[in-house]
Structure 1
């Protein structure tokens, strides 16, 4: 549910800054904000949230059985820890839309695009600060690959939307690092919810 609500709000920041536009848009009005989205966007974000939210606790348990490293916030992170991770991810998401145009043709020495460098470094920093586990890094990297792959299919196969400044296959290169940052944010929410469900079951069974 959280992903279904928060995802379109974040995604709407991209359309508001002319980063992308849908073939058949729906307009969401929130006071002075008018965000462009589409009916299937909440469903897609909800599915991604379920996959990430379920996989992180399962991988944590698998690592624990083998004496492996646990995430920085533990298997039962506090709500303040979870909300801090989500807040910083949302800020990174918003920054990707706000900064695309001014940083579009800026590059660091060596040719690395400035926006890619900024979003990649912030994504890695979010993983380090709010996860720092091998399983968390695995899921963040898988998300950074799977997310753009789904977008390529939606853009080139279904022609569902278009990016204004694509880099390859219809998508911008920096979008992968936004997905990377989403891993620890959604993963910690999944850990918190999973821990609450387990605790409620134990209390019910006693």
Structure 2
């Protein structure tokens, strides 16, 4: 009997009952499962695996920034070239007059005009595809370089008309150039973002021009819109649409900006 009594009290089931009542069903299986999960949990990733994703992100960001610099440089050069050609047309017709102290020898233009126009072209050309992506409306109307070159030719023609055409008054000339500018947008753009940005650019550029003329940096002959010609906003509008189309074409096929985790 003592032996049986000792064996009874030495049984694991009896010990569990004496400690906390009845044993819980499946407790042993849960403990084994937890042990198996703990033993099979992966350890810390090796250094190569941890560093692979940031390195890939760095390469993507570097390529995106490199492409951004290239597009900015191309747009800047386009803006400089257009400024030299178009400003030459205006000066030859005595539409724009610069004081002698700010004149330079390059195409008889003021030295600061081409850099300013190049910088503005770079900003506008990068802004158009950025706004398109933000609005979720990618521009796909006539997306080829032939259409872009025709748009540039029409823009130069509008500027040439502003210097060459003679109307009875500036109001008729302004209305004609406004119709041509809207026709340029309808022919080569037709996007709401392009129309909105063109109007905004025309408004801001006109204000800046008014400020420069007011401070005597240069002047226009026969001003009829405060200090400038009334058709100048039409030129700014068509120029914004033209440079925007160039920027959109340059941005085609460019990878999106990588997002940081």
TM-score calculated relative to the size of structure 2:
0.64
Per-residue deviation, 1:19: 0.4
Aligned residue in 1 for 2:10: none
2:219 is paired with a residue whose SS is strand
Q: Indicate the structure with greater strand content.
A: 1
RMSD of aligned Cα (Å): 2.1
Q: Which runs of 5+ in 2 are unaligned?
A: 1-76
| Alignment counterpart, residue 133 of structure 1, candidates 191, 204, 213 | 191
**What does residue range 12-23 of structure 1 map to in structure 2 within 5 Å?**
12-23=88-99
1:71 Cα shift? Answer: 5.2
Residues 1:106 and 2:169 are matched in the alignment: yes
- Listed as ranges, the matches of 1:2-13 within 5 Å are 2-13=78-89
* Match among 212, 215, 218 for residue 161 of structure 1: 218
Does structure 2 conserve the Cα–Cα contact (< 8 Å) formed by 1:26 and 1:39? yes
Q: Spell out the pairing of 1:113-152 with structure 2 (5 A cutoff).
A: 113-152=171-210
| Residues in 2 aligned to 1:71 and 1:127: alpha-carbon distance in whole angstroms | 14
Matches within 5 A, 1:70-81: 70=139, 72-73=141-142, 77-81=143-147
Which of 135, 138, 161 lines up with 1:63 in the alignment? 135
Other-structure match for 1:39: 111
More helix by share: 2
Distance in 2 (CA, whole Å) between partners of 1:175 and 1:72 is 27
Post-superposition offset of 1:178? 0.7
Answering whether residue 227 of structure 2 is matched by residue 170 of structure 1, we say yes
In the TM superposition, what is the alpha-carbon distance from 1:194 to its structure 2 partner? Answer: 1.7
Say which one has the larger Rg.
Answer: 2
Unpaired runs of 5+ residues, structure 1, are 29-34, 108-112, 202-206
SS at match of 2:108: strand
Task: Look up the SS of the partner of 1:26 in the other structure.
Answer: coil
Per-residue CA distance 1:75-109 (angstroms, 9 max, x = gap):
xx21111111111001101110112xx21x337xx
